[in-house]
């Protein structure tokens, strides 16, 4: 194996590192060289690729055992996913933080949420407090975003929302995340506004009841209240 290509060295962890230590090391290093932050830096892209490969091997118990015993020749790259998709699925996208906030797993990996001295109860309380702050920040952002519309500049707001949707859709998994945000917003709006408001020619309540069985296993938490209605029309419908 060539010097410097050892997966543990790439991530900067010891060979006895736990899965949590590996995840944290991957997050802290990968976010610095993420292609979205370094679009014109080939070396950053190469480092990001190497970090993604190292993480996928060392976080998989079977792959890690094979690698520890026989080196890179035993690693199956056919099972590996695109590094950008892996990072986004694990930690979300910084481009979307104004809309979904910082995901809990990213907070934990960054050290913001947990420490080795935390008891489970303390961690749970810190998670709840972080979630409250996250929801309040998201709500404030949406209110600020809607001020242009509320002030009467509907065309300007529509153009701004369309441009924002196009920008976000160019990021990794951007279109899928936008569709998910639009779905969450429309469901929340349906519950808030009730059957008197029409959405796409269908009463909101009826639309909500029609799809209430849909199971959305996501860490995305939308800001609650009537302000989600206009933003879901403009962001969701441009995707």
User: Could you read off the pLDDT tens digit of each residue along the chain, which spans 239 residues?
Assistant: 344 489 999 999 999 999 889 988 998 899 899 888 888 898 998 999 999 999 999 999 999 999 999 998 888 888 788 888 888 877 777 777 787 776 656 666 666 555 555 676 776 777 777 778 878 888 888 888 889 988 999 999 989 988 988 888 887 778 888 888 888 877 777 777 665 555 555 555 454 455 544 433 333 333 333 334 444 444 444 33
pLDDT at 228: 42
Q: What is the dihedral of CA 41, 45, 51, 54, to 10 degrees?
A: -140
pTM score, whole prediction: 0.58
The per-residue pLDDT for 142 is: 85
Query: Where do the domains of the chain lie?
Result: 7-91, 135-237
**CA-closest candidate to residue 59, choices 105, 99, 112, 97:** 105
CATH classification for the domain delimited by 7-91, as one of 1.10.287.110, 3.30.70.260, 3.20.20.70, 3.30.590.10? 1.10.287.110
- The SS3 of residue 86 is helix
Question: What's the CA gap between 98 and 191, in Å, rounded?
Answer: 23
State how far the Cα of 92 lies from the Cα of 108, in Å rounded to an integer.
13
Give first-to-last CA distance, the chain, whole Å.
46
| Rounded (10°) CA dihedral 63, 65, 66, 72 | 70
């Amino acid at each position: 194996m060539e010097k410097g290509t050892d997966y543990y060295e790439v991530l900067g962890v010891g060979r006895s590192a736990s899965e949590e230590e590996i995840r944290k090391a991957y997050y802290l290093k990968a976010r610095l060289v993420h292609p979205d932050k370094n679009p014109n830096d080939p070396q950053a892209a190469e480092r990001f690729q190497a970090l993604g490969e190292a993480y996928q091997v060392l976080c998989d118990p079977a792959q890690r055992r094979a690698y520890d015993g026989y080196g890179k020749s035993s690693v199956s790259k056919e099972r590996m996913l695109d590094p950008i998709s892996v990072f986004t699925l694990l930690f979300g996208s910084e481009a979307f933080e104004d809309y979904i906030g910082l995901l809990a797993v990213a907070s934990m990996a960054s050290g913001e949420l947990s420490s080795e001295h935390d008891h489970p109860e303390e961690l749970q309380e810190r998670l709840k407090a972080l979630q409250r702050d996250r929801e309040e920040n998201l709500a404030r952002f949406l209110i600020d975003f809607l001020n242009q519309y509320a002030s009467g500049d509907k065309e300007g707001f529509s153009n701004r929302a369309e441009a924002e949707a196009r920008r976000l859709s160019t990021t990794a998994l951007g279109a899928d995340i936008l569709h998910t945000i639009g779905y969450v917003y429309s469901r929340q709006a349906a519950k808030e506004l009730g059957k008197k408001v029409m959405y796409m020619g269908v009463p909101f309540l009826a639309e909500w009841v029609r799809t209430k069985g849909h199971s959305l296993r996501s860490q995305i938490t939308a800001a609650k209240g009537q302000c989600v209605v206009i933003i879901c029309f403009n962001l969701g419908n441009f995707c």
